[in-house]
């Protein structure tokens, strides 16, 4: 599902005029985020890297043909200003698409880190392959960082830090980098270097997306206040996996404060797990609090039609609304024991009620008053239509 269009008024406006442009921006960005998430999982990182190379070059090539002037000009200008990086990435894409997947080599640095911020660390003491790929034993090479964590850290653990980690803000970790030998020539230049392919691909792609969006904003004289690009220090929450990321509960005991993981991939996995648990718990709660009878079903319809949009988000209203409106088929089934067999309400009515409710929730998230009002009016009209049908029904004897 494409989400970028629904994330802000800016992308909603862009999507209305150029839907495929927004979709391609989202695909490039999602592939870049997938690299961040899977950075310490070699197999999935390699797949994400190759996907980004292909989607990025497709976006560039498609943007320079049959495109609006603002888009073509923006992409042409960016490529011209970043010609060397463009040629390298284009070469990597061609290899990936026509010959074999890009399989970068890894470098591992192990040591003691000082946490300066949730995203930035300083390597105080360490050893490993700094700035170049390394050669590792078969049982360590191209393994998930988590799987080789204790093997790689055994010396550092004995030599660099006390067992109880008494220095608050300091712990052991592993920094990983991904390199690829780039060797080719164009009509204008020869290239022969070992490149950090993550830095190359992520920096180029996010900066390009920023320029495209800023060019669209300038063309329409509107504001773009988002940024895809991010500046990362040498050791950061993407390329470095800390002890804190893998066993935060121990650090909460050692440092006597609540500790949470910092690594982007670990946090993404935890967020997904929490999202699933929340989804599961919500449905369990909703099922235990279904509308018991027809009279209560009608009063619930009237209740939500009477609420102003802002009131839906207040107190218990939000959970009740999400339950009754978004999974209304459960409530209908509970209230009407015979289902649709003896009711003027149709499956289409219930489905439309749920879809209209979802649309309203989406507009509330964007906080755009005019579309919130129209979405609420649409839902209210749907509710009144269902209530009118229910009024024509004769109560069962």
The DSSP line for 200-211 is HHHHHHHHHHHH
pLDDT at 363: 86
Per-residue pLDDT of the chain (397 residues), as tens digits, is: 578 988 888 998 999 999 999 999 999 999 999 999 999 999 999 999 999 999 999 999 999 988 999 999 999 999 999 999 999 999 999 999 999 999 999 999 999 999 999 999 999 999 998 889 999 998 889 999 999 999 999 999 999 999 999 999 999 999 999 999 999 999 989 999 999 999 999 999 999 999 999 999 999 999 999 999 999 999 999 999 999 999 999 999 999 999 999 999 999 999 999 999 999 999 999 999 999 999 999 999 999 999 999 999 889 899 999 999 999 999 999 998 877 777 888 899 999 999 999 999 888 887 777 789 999 999 999 999 999 998 887 555 4
**223 φ, ψ to 5°?**
-100, 135
pLDDT at 392: 83
351-368: burial string, b at 16+ Cβ within 10 Å, e else: ebbbebbebbbebbeeee
Q: Report the C-alpha gap between 288 and 285 in whole angstroms.
A: 5
Which tokens go with 181? 């030998």
HSE (side-chain half, CA atoms, 13 Å) at 72: 6
Estimate to the nearest angstrom the gap between the alpha carbon of 162 and the chain centroid. 37
Single pTM value for the model = 0.89
Residue ranges of alpha helices (H) inside the chain are: 9-17, 19-37, 42-63, 69-81, 83-98, 145-160, 197-220, 243-246, 248-255, 264-287, 294-306, 309-312, 317-326, 328-335, 347-366, 369-391
pLDDT at 86: 98
Alpha-carbon torsion angle 287, 289, 293, 295, nearest 10: -130
Q: What are the residue boundaries of the structural domains of the chain, listed by start?
A: 4-99+202-229, 105-180+238-265, 289-391
């Amino acid at each position: 599902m494409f989400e970028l269009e629904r994330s802000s008024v800016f992308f909603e406006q862009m999507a209305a005029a150029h839907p495929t442009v927004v979709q391609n921006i989202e695909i490039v960005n999602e592939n870049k985020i997938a690299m961040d998430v899977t950075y310490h999982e070699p197999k999935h990182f390699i797949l994400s890297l190759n996907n980004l190379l292909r989607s990025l070059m497709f976006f560039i090539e498609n943007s320079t043909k049959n495109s609006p002037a603002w888009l073509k000009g923006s992409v042409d200008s960016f490529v011209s200003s970043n010609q060397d990086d463009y040629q390298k990435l284009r070469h990597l894409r061609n290899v990936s698409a026509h010959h074999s997947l890009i399989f970068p080599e890894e470098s591992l640095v192990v040591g003691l880190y000082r946490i300066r911020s949730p995203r930035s660390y300083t390597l105080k003491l360490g050893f490993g392959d700094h700035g170049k790929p390394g050669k590792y034993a078969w049982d360590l090479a191209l393994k998930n960082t988590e799987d080789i964590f204790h093997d790689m850290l055994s010396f550092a653990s004995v030599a660099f830090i006390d067992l109880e980690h008494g220095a608050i803000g300091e712990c052991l970790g592993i920094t990983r980098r991904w390199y690829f030998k780039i060797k080719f020539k164009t009509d204008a230049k020869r290239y022969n270097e070992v490149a950090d392919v993550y830095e190359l691909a992520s920096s180029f792609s996010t900066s390009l997306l920023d320029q495209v969006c800023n060019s669209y904003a300038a063309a329409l004289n509107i504001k773009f206040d988002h940024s895809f690009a991010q500046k990362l220090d040498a050791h950061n929450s993407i390329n470095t996996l800390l002890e804190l990321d893998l066993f935060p509960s121990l650090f909460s005991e050692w440092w006597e404060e609540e500790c949470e993981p910092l690594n982007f991939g670990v946090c993404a996995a935890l967020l997904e797990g929490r999202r699933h648990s929340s989804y599961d718990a919500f449905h369990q709660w909703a099922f235990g609090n279904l509308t018991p009878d027809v009279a209560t079903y009608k009063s619930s319809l009237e209740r939500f039609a009477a609420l102003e949009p802002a009131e839906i988000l207040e107190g218990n209203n939000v959970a009740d609304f999400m339950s009754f409106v978004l999974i209304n088929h459960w409530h209908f089934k509970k209230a009407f024991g015979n289902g649709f067999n003896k009711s003027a309400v149709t499956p289409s009515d219930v489905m439309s009620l749920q879809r209209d409710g979802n649309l309203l929730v989406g507009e509330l998230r964007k906080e755009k008053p005019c579309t919130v009002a129209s979405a609420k009016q649409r839902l209210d009209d749907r509710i009144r239509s269902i209530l009118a049908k229910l009024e024509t029904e004769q109560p069962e004897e």
